[in-house]
Amino acid sequence: MNDTPIDAYCVMGNPVEHSRSPWIHARFAELTGQRLRYNRQLVALDGFAQAVHALRARGGRGCNVTIPFKFEAVALSTQVSERAALAQAANTLSFDADGIHADNTDGLGLVADIQNNLAVRLRARDVLLLGAGGAAAGALGPLLQAGPRQVLVANRTQAKADALVRRHAALARSQDCALQACGLDTMGHSFDIVINASASSLEGAAVPLQADVLRPGALAYDMMYGPAAAGFLTWARSHGARACDGLGMLVEQAAESFFIWRGVRPPSATVLAELRRVIDTTPP
C-alpha cells in the first residue's frame, strides 16, 4: 500500500460546475499511471487569492484557473512564464517551495488542436482572431509562434484589440508576420483560418462576422464547445467552411497543464475522442 499523500489539484472558477477539467485530468492520470486527485472549486468573486493560498497551505500542488480569475492569477504569482506575461493571463498555477508559478496553456492547446488534431497548417496562412479578451490574449503568442503570414485581431471594442497587438508587436516582427487590429466593421478581406475567441457563442449572440471573411475551404474554429457552439458551426458550414468547436483546445490545454505538473505527456487524442463520445451522449 502507498502511504504517501496523494497530490491534489483543482480547477478554480466562478461559475465552475460546467467544467470538464476534472474528468479530463482523471482520465490523463489513469492512462499515464499518475497518482493524483483533481476537483472543481467554486470560488467567491472576491476570494481567489485566499483560495489559492489555502490550497497551497493544504499541500495542493497546483490548479487550473478559469473565468473570471485568469488575470488575477498572474498578479498573485511569484514567477510568471513568458507566455503568461504576454497574455497578462494565466490558466495554470504550480506550487513549490519557491512560490506560485503562473503559466498559460490556452494558446498551446489551440495551436495543438488546429495543427495536430485537425491537421491544418498555420505557417504562412492568413488568420482572423475574433475577440480580445482572456482567451484571445492567451492564443495570440502561440499563434504567432506557429508562423502565420498575417494575423488580424478584430474586436467589438477596438481599443482592446489595439492593446493586444501592441503587446505582441515585437514577437510578430520576429516571426515576419503582419499583425494588425481592427473593429468588427473593417476586416477587409478573406482568411484561411477564422478563430472565434469572443464570447458571442457563450452569450447566444449572432455571429458577429460577415461571411466574406471565409476563404473557400477555410477553417472556422469556435473556442466554444457543446450546444452553445452550434450557431457558429452552422453559420460556418452554410458558407462552405470547415467548422470545428473548441473541445480539442480544451483537452490540449489540459494536456499542457498536466505536462507542466507531472512531466508526462498524456494521450490527448484518445481522451478527446472519449470526451466527444461522452458529450454527444449526455443531454445538455
9's grid cell: 489539484
Query: Cβ of residue 162: shortest distance to ligand NAP, in angstroms?
Result: 11
Cell of 282: 449526455
Query: Any idea which residues carry the catalytic annotation?
Result: 70
End-to-end CA distance of the chain: give it in Å, rounded.
40
Query: What are the strands of the beta sheet with 7-13, ordered from one edge?
Result: 36-42, 7-13, 62-65, 92-96, 99-103, 79-80
Closest to ligand NAP by CB, 49 vs 163, is 163
Cell triple for 268: 490527448
The single residue among 93, 214, 224, 255 that binds ligand NAP, judged by CB under 6 A, is: 224
Interface with ligand NAP, residue 197, by CB under 6 A: yes
Short-list 163, 143, 158, 167, CA closest to 86: 167
CB 177 within 8 A of CB 153: no
Among 54, 124, 170, 205, binds ligand NAP (CB under 6 A): 205
Distance of closest approach, residue 221 Cβ to ligand NAP, in angstroms: 10
**Binding flags for ligand NAP, 79-108, as an x/- string (CB under 6 A):** ---------------------------x--
- Contacts (CB under 6 A) with ligand NAP, residues 7-26: none
| 56 versus 145: smaller Cβ distance to ligand NAP | 145
Of 7-15, 21-29, 33-41, 200-208, the segment contacting ligand NAP by CB under 6 A is 200-208
Considering only 117, 200, 257, 268, the residue that binds ligand NAP (CB under 6 A) is 200
Indicate the residue among 7 and 72 with the shorter CB distance to ligand NAP.
Answer: 72
Among the listed residues 129, 223, 236, 241, the single contact to ligand NAP using CB under 6 A: 223
**What does the DSSP assignment read for 201-219?**
TTTTPPP-S-GGGEEEEEE
Cell output for 236: 460556418
Q: Which of 20, 221, 40, 236 has the alpha carbon at shortest distance from 136?
A: 221
DSSP assignment letter at 118: S
Q: Which is nearer to ligand NAP, 1 or 132 (CB)?
A: 132
Sheet holding 126-130, edge to edge: 178-182, 150-154, 126-130, 191-196, 214-222, 242-244
Asked if 202 is part of the footprint of ligand NAP (rule: CB under 6 A), the reply reads: yes
Q: Does 249 bind ligand NAP (CB under 6 A)?
A: yes
Residue 186 touching ligand NAP (CB under 6 A): no
Interacting residues toward ligand NAP by CB under 6 A: 67, 106, 109, 131-136, 155-157, 160, 197-203, 205, 208, 223-225, 246, 249-250, 253
